[in-house]
A and B are shown apart, each in its own frame.
Chain A
Amino acid sequence: MLKNLCQKMFGRSLWVYHANSGGCNGCDIEVLNVLTPYYDVERFGIKLVGSPRHADVMLCQGPAMRATAQALKRAYDAMPAPKLVFAIGSCACGGGIWFDSYPVLGPVEKVVPVNFYIPGCPPRPEAIIYGVAVAVGLVDKKTAPVKFKQIELPIPRYHPNDLIGRDELVVYEKVEKV
């Protein structure tokens, strides 16, 4: 019974550890903005802690670099279960614009398993709060893959056999909507 209660309380008080593994600090500033009075996120019970052993959630930003990949993995291993990893910003989600640069290994998911992605460059503080709310289960997510297939083709097809000459004009005999 106590275990159920503890698991239910998990979403009400998330302690966050902020790990920047080589980003440009743009997403850093947005994460810090989220903790300030304007977009206050402490009203959801989220607190910034200084040690990964105290934390539930690791906010990763910046791509995984050669120099910091090992440190990131160690910080992830130091967190006690149950744990979540949020990848914040385009660099952490997919490597960012620097994906083929020499020190960049790739997105953060090459080093630690990621649970939630919050893309943006940098994501607005409201986007970060929205992502956290999706993770906790307060709201539904608003994105889904989009596919468009052109079934109605707008352009008629011309075939050379259907071009007939008529009084010095070349006229298309039959219009075929494909």
Chain B
Amino acid sequence: MSVLSKLKETLVCLKAGRVTLPYPAQAQPVPEKFRGRPLFDAAKCTGCGGCANNCPAREILLFDLCQEIRILQYLGRRCAYCGRCADVCPEKAITMSHEFETGTNSIGDIQQRVELFMSTCQRCGRCFKEPSALEQLKLKGYRVDDVAHERWVFRSKSYLDTEPVVDDIKIEMD
């Protein structure tokens, strides 16, 4: 606590100079294994749905328009950049890029939407929709997540409705 120790401290700090990174002027290189935004390569995607099943934040939605067109929508709101989708993808269609500069004023800017044509069975080649949503769910592999309300639809006990599947807890905020 003497005066000399404080002066020595000042000299040490001054000798370090200015350590501020000139960030907006010059970008710093990111580490090699850095996980930034996931990029979906639609040319390689086969629409298997592995990424959607494995996402811990349930951010990837799958919707089958008909037997042959599958829509895959990545909403980036809750993505924790864990990289599970990239690990699981059998075609390596998802890469965790090095982009992190994703500040935006509308959260819908981060979404990526891929519409794929799924090949049909050689024998039956079905191209018509089952009459009701329940029948659609019963078809193996059919996925009808609620893209309009941006919600997953759990397969076993839920049905497509305007009611949310998980109740929002009401709390008085005055």
Contacts and interface: CB of A to CB of B under 8 A. Distances in A.
Instruction: Indicate if A touches B (C-beta under 8 A).
Output: yes
Contacts of A158: 122, 125
A41 B48 CA distance: 44
A150 B113 CA distance: 11
Instruction: Give the dominant DSSP class at B's interface.
Output: loop
Interface string B41-64: 010000000000000111100000
A99 B79 CA distance: 11
B57 A150 contact: no
Nearest to B18: A37
B76 A119 contact: yes
Contacts of B149: none
B20 A159 contact: no
B5 interface: no
Given A105-B168, A146-B111, A127 B102 contact: yes
Interface stretch (B21-29, B128-136, B138-146, B155-163): B21-29
A144 B109 contact: yes
A37 B22 CA distance: 11
B125 A159 contact: yes
B10 interface: no
A14 to B, nearest CB: 14
Given A39-B21, A121-B80, A141-B109, A99 B102 contact: no
A119 B75 CA distance: 12
30 contacts: A39-B23, A40-B20, A66-B171, A93-B78, A94-B107, A95-B57, A97-B57, A116-B103, A117-B105, A117-B106, A120-B81, A121-B80, A121-B81, A126-B23, A126-B101, A129-B23, A130-B101, A141-B109, A142-B102, A144-B109, A145-B111, A146-B40, A147-B113, A148-B42, A148-B115, A149-B115, A150-B42, A150-B115, A158-B125, A160-B125
